[in-house]
């Protein structure tokens, strides 16, 4: 089973690039972030005709997450538990019914800037809710993964120029500490389980020629539960997608599972 995560930065802007990538990469499941569309406006037919079941949790102009799956989906839920007043569409879950059922959680973690301030407080509170949901899923002892745009630079080696991110919400000590607490529950960070060292990025800003200078950061991650980590075969970043016509500022990251 090939599962990918991709922050597309707007379905309207990526209406051609996303189907082209799907045709080429052929993921069984694609977790999308920043669809920037309400559910009823999402162009589901484009993906259904490619054999994907489409589940969205949308929001007008901002945020929004989706699951595209060629395998049957069961028990689809929307919204991260823990705050009934939170109206931001940043979380979607479903069980993918492959040879081994896998619970997949697609997430778009808050950016948190400007920092300090209410947006950063929201980010840290959201991460507390994420930890609580992770603990609940771990208690089931069923294999699951949480993947998406975490808006977290885990370590300095995950940025070309770590010094410029020191006071940014993506790399602040509090952000990294929250991410470590999550990891310490027993997750495997799939990419680092397969690839070590610097100069591996999943995001390049549109500004200041960041792509041409490879001035990137790695903020799109797969966290695998112990049962899911046992199934891990590979994890890669489709870096070259960033150099194509009308790209997102993120690129896809994918795992291959023995499931």
39 given a catalytic annotation: no
Structure tokens at 92: 């979607």
52 given a catalytic annotation: no
The residue annotated as part of the active site, out of 52, 120, 149, 220, is: 149
Looking up tokens 């390049």 gives: 204
Structure tokens at 108: 């778009």
The residue annotated as part of the active site, out of 28, 52, 108, 158, is: 108
Looking up tokens 């002892």 gives: 141
As annotated, the active-site residues are: 108, 149
């Amino acid at each position: 089973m090939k599962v990918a995560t991709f922050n597309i930065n707007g379905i309207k802007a990526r209406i051609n690039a996303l189907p082209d990538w799907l045709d080429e990469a052929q993921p069984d499941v694609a977790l999308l972030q920043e669809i920037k569309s309400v559910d009823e406006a999402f162009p589901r037919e484009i993906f259904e005709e490619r054999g994907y079941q489409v589940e969205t949790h949308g929001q007008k102009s901002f945020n929004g997450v989706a699951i595209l799956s060629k395998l049957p989906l069961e028990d689809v839920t929307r919204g991260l538990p823990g705050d009934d007043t939170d109206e931001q569409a940043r979380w979607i879950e479903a069980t993918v019914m492959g040879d081994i059922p896998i619970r997949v959680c697609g997430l778009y973690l808050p950016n948190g800037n400007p920092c300090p301030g209410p947006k950063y407080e929201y980010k840290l509170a959201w991460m507390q809710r994420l930890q609580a949901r992770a603990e609940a899923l771990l208690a089931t002892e069923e294999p699951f993964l949480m993947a998406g745009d975490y808006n977290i630079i885990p370590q300095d080696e995950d940025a070309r120029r770590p010094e410029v991110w020191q006071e940014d919400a993506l790399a602040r000590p509090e952000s990294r500490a929250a991410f470590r607490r999550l990891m310490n529950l027993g997750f495997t960070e799939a990419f680092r389980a397969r690839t070590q060292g610097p100069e591996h990025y999943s995001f390049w800003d549109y500004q200041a020629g960041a792509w041409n200078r490879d001035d990137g950061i790695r903020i799109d991650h797969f966290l695998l539960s112990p049962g899911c980590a046992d199934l891990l075969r590979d994890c890669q970043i489709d870096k070259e997608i960033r150099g194509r016509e009308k790209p997102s500022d993120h690129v896809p990251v994918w795992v291959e599972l023995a499931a």
